[in-house]
A and B are shown apart, each in its own frame.
Chain A
């Protein structure tokens, strides 16, 4: 079975440019999470969706960050304009929470973002 698919795997861009990260969750999963991982701050939850609806975006750093989930099989995380401090590994994860708790999250391999 295909796991969570993220693209691109690596992105290098200049400060001020728009960056779009993409995620395809596992088919049938109804919850999707975006995380950011850095050495200094560890793994941070940015936002999560349940049934395509954003439930908690309190982890989104500022208005430069936005996330959408137009359908059950696709989500994007956008940074506009990007800044060097946004450099990190961004992970997408999905799970099936429709029938109760205790379901583990399945992670993609991440997008390594470098803003010059």
Chain B
């Protein structure tokens, strides 16, 4: 069965500092991995996804993530954060089950960027 663990519930960081949001997953089959961002009073939006190929995936707003199969991790990184990056970030895993593809979301990590 799939599961997703986001290791930090909150991450405070100063503006222009680097940040890493950690995500570990488990699945018995090949998976697709995603990071989503949720701004206040909005739905989730896709930041980036890993399907296959290069393990380093680049997304919108300067974010990138690295797929590590041996460590079953998909950590999200940004070299220099802005105030506007303050939001909640969700890691998600998807694989094929009965009737179609189901996505499991992690509990979320709240990123708080301070001036």
Contacts and interface: CB of A to CB of B under 8 A. Distances in A.
Tell me the interface secondary structure of chain A in the complex: strand
A109 B36 CA distance: 14
Interface string B20-51: 00000000000010101000011111100101
Contacts, number: 60
A67 to B, nearest CB: 15
Given A43-B105, A102-B32, A109-B42, A55 B100 contact: yes
Q: Which size bracket describes the interface of A in this complex?
A: 20 to 34
Contacts of A43: 44, 90, 105, 107-108
A101 B43 contact: no
Contacts of B104: 45
A4 B42 CA distance: 12
Interface string B73-110: 00000000000000000100011101111111101100
Interface residues of B: mostly helix, strand, loop or mixed?
strand
A85 B34 CA distance: 30
A108 B44 CA distance: 8
Contact of A102 (B43, B44, B45, B49): B49
Interface of A: 4, 31, 33, 42-43, 45, 48, 50, 53, 55-56, 91, 93, 95, 97, 101-110
Given A55-B99, A95-B101, A104-B46, 11 more contacts: A31-B100, A42-B105, A42-B107, A43-B90, A91-B44, A102-B49, A105-B44, A105-B46, A107-B44, A107-B45, A109-B42
